[in-house]
Amino acid sequence: MVSSPFRHAGRSDAIREVLETSYRNRNLLHITAGSAVPLLKNCIWLVVRGMVKLEAVTIHGDPLLLGLAGPNEPFGEPLTNVLAYEAFTLTDSDLLCLTCAEIEQSPHLAMAMMQAVVSRYRQAETMLSLLGLRRVEERVRGFLELLAQEYGQPCDQGLRLNLRLTHQELASALCTTRVTVTRVIGLLRDEGWLQIDGQRHLVISHLPKRR
């Protein structure tokens, strides 16, 4: 049996079934890793496979990581008021484009989309709460824990992150510097909480039980 592209830990079967029904009769847009995703007026993108990073550019020209969208998670121009909002694929990704009109016309699709937006909202709140932590080590540990619990793949050593974020991107998300992030990641590796596998993927070794 071929596994569903919408299957994702922590997402309800109801969401998956509704989105599969919509996606079955639609053409997916395949975008290679590192590519910009066009943000269309009155259209919402839904990630079917892959991972998209959402960012903005500050008034000083620095990139600011706002969040991530993985399988079953939406993003797009109607969901933000942030100026200079941009989206880039972190991995090869398959995306589904839905207009606001067709979401409004389908109660089942609207409900599924609402639950998907709630997931993104919770992620955003968690990221904001991390910024209130005084110690940068706690911010980095908390952010990696969030990524692992949301998007990690089980492996012998723990949960592996199949996405790659640079130390600068981590720093921009956590309001710190690249040098500090590099130092903290080194400390987390030394204590065994974090590992790097043969493909240079981060592996989180010690986590609470998945939600």
Q: Is residue 153 part of a domain?
A: yes
Q: Which residues constitute the domain of residue 176? A: 135-204
Q: What is the CATH number of the domain that holds 82?
A: 2.60.120.10
Per-residue pLDDT tens digits of the chain, which is 211 residues long: 333 333 344 444 555 566 656 556 567 899 999 999 999 999 999 998 899 999 988 787 777 888 899 888 899 999 888 877 899 999 899 998 989 998 898 888 888 888 888 888 888 888 889 988 989 999 999 999 998 888 888 888 889 988 888 898 899 889 899 999 999 999 999 999 998 887 888 899 876 544 4
Q: What is the spatial distance between Cα 210 and Cα 154, in angstroms, rounded to a whole number? A: 11
Is residue 27 located within the same domain as residue 61?
A: yes
Is residue 62 located within the same domain as residue 148?
A: no
Is residue 124 located within the same domain as residue 139?
A: no
Short-list 47, 25, 27, CA closest to 37: 47
How far does CA 32 lie from the centroid of its chain?
16
Q: What is the CATH number of the domain that holds 148?
A: 1.10.10.10
Is residue 36 located within the same domain as residue 111?
A: yes
Is residue 63 located within the same domain as residue 106?
A: yes
Q: Is residue 27 part of a domain?
A: yes
Question: Among 70, 100, 130, where does a domain finish?
Answer: 130
Is residue 58 located within the same domain as residue 98?
A: yes
Question: Among 130, 159, 181, where does a domain finish?
Answer: 130
Q: Is residue 37 part of a domain?
A: yes
Neighbours of 69 (CB within 10 A): 28
Q: Is residue 6 part of a domain?
A: no
Q: What is the spatial distance between Cα 181 and Cα 116, in angstroms, rounded to a whole number? A: 30
Is residue 167 located within the same domain as residue 72?
A: no
